[in-house]
Amino acid sequence: MAYKTVVKKNKRTGKYQEKEVETGKGGSSGINLQKSYSDNWDEGLYSYSPTKEQPKIKDLTEAKTIQDYLDWKYPTKEDKEKVKKIGINKINIKRAKSLKMKVTNVGKLEGGSLDLSKYSNLKEVFIPGTKLKTPIIDLILGNKPQLAFLNCSENDIISLDISNCPNLKKIIKDWKTEEISQSYNQNIEITHEKKY
C-alpha cells in the first residue's frame, strides 16, 4: 500500500498537522482519506508536499554525518538550489549556536559518503577532513555549472568526477585522490595537502 503526506488544519487547535494517508482512487484528488481520522480534522483544508524530502533525522542533535546535517538543514529541492557555499567551519558554528554550546564542545561530524548533486548552484565547497570526525570517502558533485572552488583535502577520496563543473578554477585535494575525471578543455589549478 502506498502512502502520501497530507497537511490538514486541526479544528480544535487551529494548527496545521501532517498525517500519512493511503493513496487510492476516489474523488478528484486521488487520495482516499481514511475514516479513522479524528473528527477534529477540517476535511476542506489540506495540501500536498510532493517535493518535500523527509530527512533521516528529526532534529539537529541526531546529525552524525555532514550529509545528515545538510539534509536536515535543506530538506527541499528549492532549499538545496538556494545554497551557494558549503563550508564545514560555518556548519560547526551554526550547530554550536543551535545547540547553545561552544564550538569546541559540539563534536565533529562524520564524513562518509557525501552527495552534493542536488545542490546545483554551489560556487564554493570547503570540507577538509581535519574538520570532520571521520574522512569523506566518496564525494558526488553532479552538475555544478557555477562551482569555482573545491577544498576536499585530507579526506580519503580516491576518485573525483568534476566533468560537469565547467567553471571550476581551483581544487585543493587529498594526496590519496588518484583519479580526477574532467573535461579535456578545463584549466584547473590542482594542489595537494598531505595528512601528517
- Is residue 179 a contact partner of residue 153, using CB atoms and an 8 Å limit? no
SS3 category, 27: coil
Cα gap 196→182, rounded to integer Å: 28
**Mean per-residue pLDDT, 44-54:** 43
Residues above pLDDT 90, as percent of the chain: 34
Q: How confident is the model at residue 186 (pLDDT cuts 50, 70, 90)?
A: low
Q: What is the pLDDT of residues 64-103, one digit of tens each?
A: 899 999 999 999 999 999 999 999 999 988 888 887 877 7
Distances (CA, A) of 142 to 139, 148, 174: 9, 14, 19
Question: Are β-strands 189-193 and 16-22 bridged in parallel, bridged antiparallel, or unpaired?
Answer: unpaired
Q: Could you tell me which residues come within 8 angstroms of residue 131 by beta carbon, excluding any fewer than 6 positions away?
A: 88, 89, 92, 108
Inform me whether the pLDDT recorded for 27 exceeds 50: no
Supply the DSSP symbol for 24.
-
- Is residue 179 a contact partner of residue 158, using CB atoms and an 8 Å limit? yes
pTM for this entry: 0.65
End-to-end CA distance of the chain: 53
Q: How confident is the model at residue 111 (pLDDT cuts 50, 70, 90)?
A: very high
Residue of 119, 130, 188 lying closest to 155 (CA atoms): 130
Q: What is the pLDDT of residues 155-171, one digit of tens each?
A: 988 888 888 999 998 88
Cα gap 19→9, rounded to integer Å: 11
